[in-house]
Amino acid sequence: MNETDFIPKPYLNHIESGDFTWSSPSNIALVKYWGKKQDQIPENPSISFTLDYCKTTTKLSFSKKENKEAFSFDVFLDNEKKDDFKPKIETFFKRIEIYLPFLKDFHFKIETSNSFPHSSGIASSASGMSALALCLMSIEKEFVENISDEFFIQKASFLARLGSGSACRSLEGDLVVWGKHDEIDGSSDLFGVKYPFEVHQSFKNYHDTILLVDKGEKQVSSSVGHNLMYGHPFAQQRFEQANKNLSSIKSILKSGDLNAFIGLVESEALTLHAMMMTSMPYFILMKPNTLEIINKIWSFRESTGSKVCFTLDAGANVHVLYPENEAVSVLKFIKNELVIFCQKGEYINDKIGFGAQLIKVE
């Protein structure tokens, strides 16, 4: 598939108005995407666990309008008008207009809500952009009736990527790869694909407890961080390392080697933050409590032989990953030793999920 395969033939059907609602989850990368080329093409392939509880639900209502010169839409978060979300969506619409030629024909009302608190420091761009892309694809399906399920998801992921890179990994579960990798069949820089190989039982129902260390707005956005990978002294080595880690994770996921999994996932998390610290200008998104938690996890593992580990996204919060058979003991450890490092003691219990859902409105 290439970009032009996503440009539709002229539509034959006519549609006046309607609405669609989708919910789409967040995801947490095991091998990280950090650095991109033009048009949201990643510098290296990445792989993520799709989450279950953390998600965005978006209702997109549309009605035909007279003036077809400009985009027209309103955005609401929890029923409250959010004009500050508009520039990001306007940019998204501009990027995808060529693939969805109906965008200027309608006025849209975008009503969105998140299952997690807005000010939790959890980025809603992956779940939000993927939910919106799916709603838009549901409209396209009204215009082009014979769209296959496979193409529907692929194009939704392709569009979501143009909204926010990691969003293209949120549509399906439980493991999704984005970015061309020679050893992963069907992988593409343009959209996410379900991880196509065998996965050991140990990784089924994996848990992710998200410790909310800092719920404030990030000082440096992901887009700025990605851009700082241009001309970064270690960028090329980092992109090579991510490719190698993707090769390694294949055998780890197959064999269920949890020690190797821990080594790879924690190294990826710290490398991501090392890239930030060695950017110019440099920045640090971890907080003192992020490090307190990491050290506690390491000593718990040392003293108990547990297979719990951590990963980080572009922020201070810690994702604590652990297998299903340790759910009780690790949760006890989290409550006893880690919750004190969370802002207002808040955390979210999540686990691996299986992707987005169309919400049928009766």
Residues that bind ligand DP6 (CB under 6 A): 29, 32-34, 40, 46, 123, 125, 164-166, 222-223, 226, 272, 313-314
What does DSSP say about strands 175-178 and 192-194: parallel, antiparallel, or unpaired? antiparallel
CB of 203 to ligand DP6, least distance (A): 18
CB of 222 to ligand DP6, least distance (A): 4
Please answer whether residues 179 and 33 qualify as being in contact, where contact means their C-beta atoms are separated by less than 8 angstroms: yes
CA distances for 298 relative to 29, 149, 263, 295, 352, angstroms: 20, 44, 12, 5, 23
Pick the closer one to ligand DP6 by CB: 50 or 61. Answer: 50
Pick the closer one to ligand DP6 by CB: 33 or 106. Answer: 33
CB of 193 to ligand DP6, least distance (A): 15
Pick the closer one to ligand DP6 by CB: 61 or 222. Answer: 222
Helix (H, G, I), strand (E, B) or coil at 249: helix
Pick the closer one to ligand DP6 by CB: 125 or 154. Answer: 125
Pick the closer one to ligand DP6 by CB: 32 or 59. Answer: 32
Amino acid at 358: L
Sheet holding 318-322, edge to edge: 309-312, 318-322, 207-211, 347-351
CB of 251 to ligand DP6, least distance (A): 21
CB of 331 to ligand DP6, least distance (A): 25
CA distance 334 to 229: 34
Cα dihedral sign for 323, 175, 162, 104?
negative
Pick the closer one to ligand DP6 by CB: 89 or 272. Answer: 272
Provide the residue count of the chain: 362
**Which residue's beta carbon is nearest to the bound ligand DP6?**
165
CA distance 208 to 49: 9
CB of 91 to ligand DP6, least distance (A): 11
CB of 36 to ligand DP6, least distance (A): 6
- Give strand pairing partners of 46: 178
Pick the closer one to ligand DP6 by CB: 33 or 62. Answer: 33
Please answer whether residues 103 and 122 qualify as being in contact, where contact means their C-beta atoms are separated by less than 8 angstroms: no
CA distance 126 to 129: 6
Burial degree of 45 (CB within 10 A; 0-12, 13-18, 19+):
buried
